[in-house]
Amino acid sequence: MLQAFANIFRIPDLRRRVFFTLGMIAIYRLGFVIPLVGVDQTALREAAERATEGGASGFGRLLEYASIFSGGSLEQSTIFGLGIMPYITASIIFQLLATVWQPLKDLKKEGASGQTKINEWTRYTTVALCLIQGTMWLSYLETQSLVQPSFREGEARFIFYAAGVAGLTAGSLFLMWLGEQIDKYGIGNGISLILTASIVAQMPGAVMWVAQNFTPSIQAAPGELNPVGLILLVGGFLLVVAGAVVITVAQRRIPIQQAKHTRGRRVFGGQRQYLPLRLNHAGVMPIIFASSLMIFPAAVFGWLASRAMAGGDGMEWWRTTTSFLEINSRPGQFPYIFLEIVLIFFFSYFWTTVQFSPEDMSKQLKQSGAFIPGYRPGPRTAEYLETVMERITYVGAGFLAAIAVIPTVVSAKMGIPFGVAQFLGGTGLLIVVSVGLDLIQRIEANLLMRNYSGFLAAGPNDQKAPRVRSRQG
C-alpha cells in the first residue's frame, strides 16, 4: 500500500493531476470564510443550533439535510452556502427529462454535439435554481430577524438581496467551474469530489463531539458516551462502511455468448463474456429523494400543531390530533422510519426503470451478435433482463433502506446529534464510499498503465507486481 502511494509521485503526469485536484479542493474550502453581506452570523449560528437540537423541527431537518451537501456553510451563510447542489439538481432534472421527453431523447442521440447542448441548458437551469433558492434563503433570514438592522429597510434592503443572491449564485457557478477544471486537468469526477469534500469536512466536528462527550465511567449521564457506547459507535461505523463498499461494487453477472462468424477459412467470435448488472443501480438517488420528501411531513405537522395550540378551548380534539401527527413525524419514530423505507423502495424501482431499459439492452446485444444462452434474442431476452433487474433491485433497495435508517435510529435512541450519526450511514456515507472507490480505480488504472504496482496488485514484499508474460516471454 505504501509503495503504491509512493508510485503516484513517481509519475509526473499523475503527480501533476493529483496536486491540481488537491489545490482546487483547497480553493473550494477557502470560500467558507467569506460571509454574505448583511447577515448576522452570530444570531444565525445560534438559531441553527436551536433548530437542529434533536432534529425535531422541520427547519432543523432542512438544515441538517442541506449541511450534508454544503459543508455546513448554509448555517454560516457564506458565498458557497448553496454548494454544488443546484447543479446536481439541474443534472438530475435533465437526466429524467431525457428518458421521457422525445426532443431531448433525439438530442442525446446526436452524440457529442447533443450532449454539449444539454450541458448548456443544464447550466442555465443551474442559474435559475440558484436565483430561486438564494432568494428563498435570504427571505427566511429576513423573516427570522437574522439580518443586521442596517440592511432591513430602504436601499440597504435592496442591496442585501442583490448582493446576497448574486454572491450565492456566483459561488455555486464557481464550484461548477472548479468541478469542470478537475475533470479536465485533475483526476476523478470534479463535481463528486467537491460534494465529497463537503461531507468529509464535517468529520472533524463529529470526532470533536465524541471526544468532548466521552466519559470513562459506565454510568454515563444523558448525552454522554460511555466505553460501551464508543465501541458500538466505532464498530457500527466500520460495519456500515464495509456494507457500503459491498453494495457499491456488487454485481449480478449474466453470461453472454458471442455468435460465431466465418470469414473465408477463419472463424471469429464465439467467446463467452459477462454482462454486469449493478446490485445498487440507482446509487444514492433513492435516499436523496426519500430524505427530501421526509422533511415536509415534520414541517407541515409542526406548523399545524403550533396553530392548534394557539386555538380556542373548543379545539381540543384538533390539538390532540395534530400533536399526535407531529410527534410521529419526527425522526426515529416508527411511522417516520416505515414511510422512509417505503419511499426508498419506490424510488429505487422508479430510478432503475428510468435509467435501465431492457429493450434497448436486448437490441444492443442482438446488433452486436451476442445472446444470453437459453433465451432467444429480442423480447424474450428483454423479459429476462427485466426480471433479473427487479430481483436485484429489491435486494439493493433493502440494503439502501437499512443504511439510510441507521443514522436516524442512532440519533434518536442514543441521543447522538444527527451531524455525528450521519457518518454511520445515509446519503453522505454512500457518496464518500462510491467516490473514494472511483478515485482509487482511476489512480490504479494510471499506475498499471505505466507498469507500476497499484493498490490491489502490489504484494507485501514485492517492489513491482508480477505481470502476465506472453508465450514469447
Query: What DSSP assignment string belongs to 368-409?
Result: TTEE-TTS-TTHHHHHHHHHHHHHHHHHHHHHHHHHHHHHHH
Within the chain, what is the greatest distance between any pair of CA atoms? 96
Class of residue 421 by CB neighbours under 10 A (exposed 0-12, middle 13-18, buried 19+): buried
Residue 220 pLDDT: 67
* Rounded percentage of the chain residues whose pLDDT exceeds 90: 10
Q: Average of pLDDT values for 241-269?
A: 80
For the ranges 104-113, 169-178, 313-322, 429-438, the lowest mean pLDDT is seen at: 313-322
Class of residue 9 by CB neighbours under 10 A (exposed 0-12, middle 13-18, buried 19+): exposed
For the ranges 25-29, 315-319, 433-437, the lowest mean pLDDT is seen at: 315-319
Q: Is the Cβ–Cβ distance between 403 and 244 less than 8 Å? A: yes
Each residue of 233-245: pLDDT tens digit?
888 888 888 888 8
The set of cell numbers assigned to 278 is 449493478
Domains, the chain:
1-201+459-473 (1.10.3370.10), 217-424 (1.10.3370.10)
C-alpha distances out from residue 375 to 189, 370, 389, Å: 38, 11, 16
Q: What is the amino acid identity at position 144?
A: Q
How many angstroms separate the CA atoms of 400 and 344, rounded? Answer: 7
Counting other chains too, the contacts that 243-249 makes at CB distance below 8 Å and 24 or more residues apart are 243/399, 243/402, 243/403, 244/403, 244/425, 244/429, 244/430, 244/433, 245/433, 245/437, 247/279, 247/280, 247/396, 247/399, 247/400, 247/403, 247/430, 248/280, 248/430, 248/433, 248/434, 248/437, 249/437
The set of cell numbers assigned to 96 is 429524467
- Among 55-69, 148-162, 374-388, 422-436, the range of highest mean pLDDT: 374-388
How many angstroms separate the CA atoms of 268 and 223, rounded? Answer: 69
Residue 458 pLDDT: 45
How many angstroms separate the CA atoms of 225 and 282, rounded? Answer: 36
Residue 124 pLDDT: 93
Residue 387 pLDDT: 92
- Select the more confidently predicted residue: 467 or 395: 395
Residue 383 pLDDT: 92
Q: Average of pLDDT values for 13-23?
A: 90
Residue 389 pLDDT: 92
**Residue 247 confidence (pLDDT) above 90:** no
Residue 104 pLDDT: 85
Q: Average of pLDDT values for 440-462?
A: 68
Contacts of 323 (CB under 8 A, 6+ apart): 305, 308
The set of cell numbers assigned to 231 is 465501541
Q: DSSP secondary-structure letter at 414?
A: H
Each residue of 403-416: pLDDT tens digit?
888 887 787 777 77
Arithmetic mean of pLDDT over the chain: 79
Each residue of 331-377: pLDDT tens digit?
767 888 888 889 899 989 988 888 888 888 888 888 888 888 888 88
Each residue of 415-443: pLDDT tens digit?
777 777 777 777 778 888 888 888 888 88
Q: Is the Cβ–Cβ distance between 396 and 279 less than 8 Å? A: yes
